[in-house]
Amino acid sequence: MIIRSETPDDEDAIHSIILAAFAPASYAAGSEAQIIRELRKHGDLTISLVAQVDKEIAGHIAFSPVKIGGRHHDWFGLGPVAVRPNLQGCGIGSELVGRGLALLKAQSARGCVLLGKPAFYKRFGFQSNGTIAFDGLPTRLVQHLVFADEAPVGELTYARAFDLVKSPSRPKP
């Protein structure tokens, strides 16, 4: 497996992988693939990595700037992360997360936040102490990883591309 930065030639494969990975998820809003296109379009795709297996794109991860309590604080949001359904559970997602976090740290990010399953993300050091909130979700799902200083406190706001998934009927993870 090779983990590398996306190239323009990868965009359609990334879109397809995200659609396939999120299709069966009850919490998915159905716009996750479009979010990546919008992040790219607005210059908010800070890190975009692909996992390549046998010369084919097998997974993708994105990191974009976030605000917490109305300020950027040099924090970034992880997500979405997606792996081809037939390759899930093979460690591809974990490799993408690990490499992406290492790149964020190397770029002097102060921390990373995500919405996700604590059982998966705690292995990378993510935790939730209830100080960062998002859209009424249970605080255990709003997790953060501090690289420098302390975690900011307040409401989490993602890049404007994520507004595609904001609606009153959006399912909760």
For the segment 107-160, what is each residue's pLDDT rounded down to a tens digit?
Answer: 999 999 999 999 999 999 999 999 999 999 999 999 999 999 999 999 999 999
Question: 133 Cβ partners below 8 Å, 6+ apart?
Answer: 139, 142, 154, 155, 156
Q: What mean pLDDT is predicted for residues 157-173?
A: 65
Instruction: Judge residue 13's burial from the number of C-beta atoms within 10 Å of its C-beta, 0-12 exposed, 13-18 middle, 19 or more buried.
Output: middle
Q: How far apart are CA 126 and CA 8, in angstroms?
A: 31
Q: Report the pLDDT value the prediction gives residue 163, as an integer from 0 to 100.
A: 87
Strand, helix or coil for residue 75 = strand
Alpha-carbon dihedral of residues 15, 51, 97, 35, nearest 10 degrees?
-10
Instruction: Provide the whole-model pTM.
Output: 0.91
Question: 27 Cβ partners below 8 Å, 6+ apart?
Answer: 171, 172, 173
Q: Which amino acid is at 51?
A: A
Beta-carbon count within 10 A of 47 CB: 19
CB distance 114 to 79 below 8 Å:
yes
Q: What mean pLDDT is predicted for residues 5-21?
A: 96
62, pLDDT greater than 70? yes
Q: Report the pLDDT value the prediction gives residue 23, as an integer from 0 to 100.
A: 83
Q: Report the pLDDT value the prediction gives residue 17, as an integer from 0 to 100.
A: 96
Please list the residues that pair with 61 across neighbouring strands. Answer: 49, 81
Task: Write the CATH number of the domain with boundaries 2-165.
Answer: 3.40.630.30
First CA to last CA distance, the chain:
29
Buried b (16+ CB within 10 A) or exposed e, 154-167: eebbbbebbeebee
Strand, helix or coil for residue 73 = coil
Domain boundaries, the chain: 2-165
Q: Report the pLDDT value the prediction gives residue 1, as an integer from 0 to 100.
A: 95
Residue 10 vs residue 173, higher pLDDT: 10
Q: Report the pLDDT value the prediction gives residue 164, as an integer from 0 to 100.
A: 72
